[in-house]
Amino acid sequence: MKYLKMTLNLFILLVLITGKAYSTSAFNLSINDGRPFQVVFDNEIYKGPMTEFNLEKISGGKHYLKVLSASGVITTGILFEDYIQIPDGYKIFAVIDDNFKMYIYKKINYNNFGWTNTICGYNCTCCQNCPICNPGNRNNENDPCLYGIMKDNDFDNLKSLVETKSFENTKIDFLKTAIDDNYFISLQVKEMMRLLSFEASKLEIAKYAYKKTCDKENYFKVYDAFTFESSITELREWIKKNK
């Protein structure tokens, strides 16, 4: 019994040091044009409509993935269907592109204990600045995105302030002032756009904020804030000309 207890304690110590004994993975998926969809992952159906699919604490390895375009509760066609490989101990961020191919645009260390030295979640400002989560984008001390992204509390205050304004032009002026003085992530830009009522205003802010967005590779996430496909097309063409 004493030997068994010592062996168990040694095993727990190794787990705490390495974090590998119960290593799990995670998967995040979206569509580049922001359309609603539903997912079949392995043998489980995740009904939509959803614009982002997030699955935590899954096993690494081969998984079956089927993505269907959804309108309300009606599926309208298969966007993607294949087996995908998810590496053990990582969180994968992927998008279905215009050619119905799955593109992995980010891979970060993941472990279900949530230790800050091995992983921090992806959606908070801290993790956008974290060099572990973004090893290629946040390792230059002169990069303004390293510490310049607007913090979550400040962003919430900005949204609250804009929501108190009655006129669309006033809201736009406040947002542009904030954009001039800060840096943002794509999801924050999408939230700013949703504070506005008119499609033209949303498009104006999407163009204006692009230069101050740190994860331009994720800018397709702002598409979900638009009502009309023509606005998405115009923004795409504008980005091509202004990269």
> Residues 62, 115: one domain?
yes
Paired tokens of 197: 């009522």
In a domain, 42, yes or no: yes
> Residues 162, 96: one domain?
no
Q: What is the mean pLDDT of residues 156-163?
A: 94
> Residues 93, 31: one domain?
yes
Q: What is the mean pLDDT of residues 111-125?
A: 43
> Residues 110, 195: one domain?
no
Residue 49 CA neighbour count, 13 Å, CB half: 14
Give the number of domains in the chain: 2
Q: Distance of CA 109 to CAs 63, 117, 141, Å?
A: 19, 10, 22
Q: What pLDDT does residue 60 have?
A: 87
> Residues 28, 104: one domain?
yes
| pLDDT exceeds cutoff 50 at 135 | no
> Residues 28, 111: one domain?
yes
pLDDT tens readout for residues 216-239: 988 998 998 998 989 999 999 999
In a domain, 76, yes or no: yes
Phi first, then psi: give them for residue 241, nearest 5 degrees.
Answer: -85, -15
Give 205: exposed, middle or buried? Use CB within 10 Å, 0-12, 13-18, 19+: buried
> Residues 161, 98: one domain?
no
pLDDT tier at 137 (50, 70, 90 boundaries)? very low
Q: What pLDDT does residue 160 have?
A: 94
In a domain, 16, yes or no: no
| pLDDT exceeds cutoff 60 at 178 | yes
| pLDDT exceeds cutoff 90 at 15 | no
Domain-terminating residue out of 119, 138, 170? 119
In a domain, 199, yes or no: yes
Q: What is the mean pLDDT of residues 128-139?
A: 46
> Residues 235, 172: one domain?
yes
In a domain, 158, yes or no: yes
Identify the domain containing residue 55 by its residue range. 21-119
> Residues 163, 215: one domain?
yes
Selection from 48-62, 100-114, 133-147, 195-209 with the highest mean pLDDT: 195-209
| pLDDT exceeds cutoff 60 at 101 | yes
pTM of the model: 0.47
> Residues 218, 169: one domain?
yes
Write out the DSSP string of 153-183: HHHHHHHHHHHT--SHHHHHHHHHHHHHH-B
Q: What pLDDT does residue 142 have?
A: 61
In a domain, 132, yes or no: no
In a domain, 157, yes or no: yes
In a domain, 127, yes or no: no
The stretches of the chain forming alpha helices (DSSP H) are: 2-18, 125-129, 152-163, 168-181, 186-193, 199-210, 229-242
| pLDDT exceeds cutoff 90 at 18 | no
Query: Is the Cβ–Cβ distance between 237 and 206 less than 8 Å?
Result: no
Q: What pLDDT does residue 222 have?
A: 93
| pLDDT exceeds cutoff 60 at 24 | yes
> Residues 44, 85: one domain?
yes
Task: Please report, for the domain that includes residue 97, its CATH number.
Answer: 2.60.40
Of 123, 189, 184, the residue nearest 149 (C-alpha): 184
| pLDDT exceeds cutoff 80 at 74 | no
> Residues 48, 100: one domain?
yes
Domain-terminating residue out of 119, 142, 176? 119
